[in-house]
A and B are shown apart, each in its own frame.
Chain A
């Protein structure tokens, strides 16, 4: 398998703040990655480092086998759509779509036109007069229609309504099926995108906490619900990620269960339900933080 990105011991400090702290990972070609984490976790800094917009304090980055900083050969295969992307003020959306093809060799104008219609974006209005959602849709359209072999979306949909977000997800999947490429999507709306993601990277306080296949991650935990005594008897000394209870009822999140264990649980009258990716990540990051604090 070819890796599009290889990152080794990457760190970025701003003064005393470790925005990215000794991170290593690889990104496989033509997969959709989720880069998840809380505000200020270092997601944007990491993506800026990967696209050569920031300079690393230490460590190495390789994109398509080469360092990205000031490397036109590598960078012209990337497209980075930021939440806070600023456009020249006197530009109208149509100026953005006129200039974008100059920089993206794979630009598909037909696809762009379709997206413009989908998002009902007014082409002739000045950028500064657009709503937050309309501004976001410009970024989303450029990111999709550019078909860059490596596309970064950093919280691309601030202000987009649910319908528009769904359009984004649908078009991304559709176009990705026909034109596979590597996509890195950073977002807070984990549950909304969880079906899209093939691989998940979770970053917290500059450190990489989780780097796992989405499917494996989803199977990593199950909710066990039932009478408190039955639940306690079932879990024994299994790893418990989260525990909730009201009166005699108990709900416990435990690490992945095998088929026979599932049968045992059903036999004991317990209910099993999958844990959403969002819940799982919240719980995992919490435990890891606790462990981290305990070891500190």
Chain B
């Protein structure tokens, strides 16, 4: 008889966490492939539409039409999509990773690390594209697709705002995913009812106390960067909530 299978040397905590993070990139199609492809398709579509408008209207109307593209929402999709990526990633890999003997704690921390990495990657990518957009004079037509005014004026501000926005959507998504893993569809429905009630409550509060003007003034005061910085509070709440929920979750089959 040969030797008994030895107990594994405990892997270092950092190693265990990075292994989980790597798991999210093992097949990079959902996390890295598809979003860029969809973004590319939107980009080409937008350019085509603008090229048509550009050719159809005369010189004098052009300027005001192009000014409108400053408020382009075409790159918004990517943020919502990142929320979906976070939901998918967690709901699919959680039961899988636990079968591999991963603890919930290591799983959540590893996933959080992967999400921060995603935020960095997408911020970098969008920044490069927006720089290209500025350098080519709006793709030769003065069009704004990737550098809309919402993300601030300068490049530094834009990087910060985009990074923080990615973090928010990824961690908010991971909180939703934790609710899903733990309570399935019933939980997610309840979750959105509670979120909607909170929003309506806040709107009512602002309306009844006549605070809309004050709120508007505060937002203007804060500026894009200030608002983005405050979203970190929501991101942190989402992160803590996701962690707390997931630590008591059990991998069951889809309801």
Chain A residues with a Cβ under 8 A of chain B: 29-30, 48, 51-55, 64, 70-73, 75-82, 84-92, 95, 98-100, 102-106, 147-149, 177-181
Q: Are A103 and B100 in contact (CB under 8 A)?
A: yes
What 1/0 mask marks residues of chain B from 225 to 255 whose CB sits below 8 Å from any chain A CB?
A: 0000000000000000000000110110110
A90 to B29, CA, bound (A): 7
A149 to B5, CA, bound (A): 6
| 6 interchain pairs, CB-CB under 8 A | A48-B251, A99-B100, A103-B97, A103-B101, A105-B9, A180-B5
At the interface, yes or no: B134 with Cβ under 8 Å from chain A? no
- State the main secondary structure of chain A at its contact with B: loop
Q: Size of chain B's interface in residues, with CB distance under 8 A?
A: 39
A88: B residues at CB distance < 8 A? 26-27, 92-93, 96
Q: Are A105 and B95 in contact (CB under 8 A)?
A: no
Given contacts A72-B106, A102-B19, contact A90 B30 (CB under 8 A): yes
B4: A residues at CB distance < 8 A? 29-30, 180-181
Q: Are B92 and A77 in contact (CB under 8 A)?
A: no
Chain B residues with a Cβ under 8 A of chain A: 1-2, 4-11, 13, 16, 19, 22-23, 26-27, 29-30, 92-93, 95-106, 247-248, 250-251, 253-254
Q: Are B96 and A87 in contact (CB under 8 A)?
A: yes
Specify which of B93, B96, B248, B250 is in contact with A85 (CB 8 Å cutoff). Answer: B96
Q: Are A103 and B102 in contact (CB under 8 A)?
A: yes
Q: Are B27 and A179 in contact (CB under 8 A)?
A: no
Nearest Cβ on chain A to B93's Cβ, whole angstroms:
6
A79: B residues at CB distance < 8 A? 99-101
Given contacts A52-B103, A179-B2, contact A86 B30 (CB under 8 A): no
A51 to B95, CA, bound (A): 12
Nearest Cβ on chain B to A271's Cβ, whole angstroms:
39
Q: Are A106 and B96 in contact (CB under 8 A)?
A: no
Q: Are B9 and A71 in contact (CB under 8 A)?
A: no
Specify which of A98, A100, A149 is in contact with B7 (CB 8 Å cutoff). Answer: A149
Given contacts A70-B247, A88-B92, A180-B1, contact A77 B8 (CB under 8 A): yes
Given contacts A95-B27, A103-B102, contact A55 B248 (CB under 8 A): yes
Q: Are A148 and B96 in contact (CB under 8 A)?
A: no
Q: Are A148 and B27 in contact (CB under 8 A)?
A: no
A81 to B98, CA, bound (A): 10
Closest to A64 in B: B7
Closest to B253 in A: A84
Q: Are B1 and A95 in contact (CB under 8 A)?
A: no
Nearest Cβ on chain A to B4's Cβ, whole angstroms:
5
Closest to B18 in A: A102
B100: A residues at CB distance < 8 A? 79, 99-100, 103-104
B251: A residues at CB distance < 8 A? 48, 53
A64: B residues at CB distance < 8 A? 7
Q: Are B2 and A180 in contact (CB under 8 A)?
A: yes
Closest to A154 in B: B99
B9: A residues at CB distance < 8 A? 105
Can you add 12 more A-B contacts, CB < 8 Å, to A85-B99, A91-B27? Answer: A53-B98, A53-B251, A55-B250, A72-B16, A75-B101, A76-B8, A76-B101, A82-B99, A88-B96, A177-B2, A180-B1, A180-B4
A84: B residues at CB distance < 8 A? 253
A54 to B23, CA, bound (A): 23
A87: B residues at CB distance < 8 A? 96
Q: Are B10 and A72 in contact (CB under 8 A)?
A: yes
Closest to B24 in A: A88
Q: Are A105 and B250 in contact (CB under 8 A)?
A: no
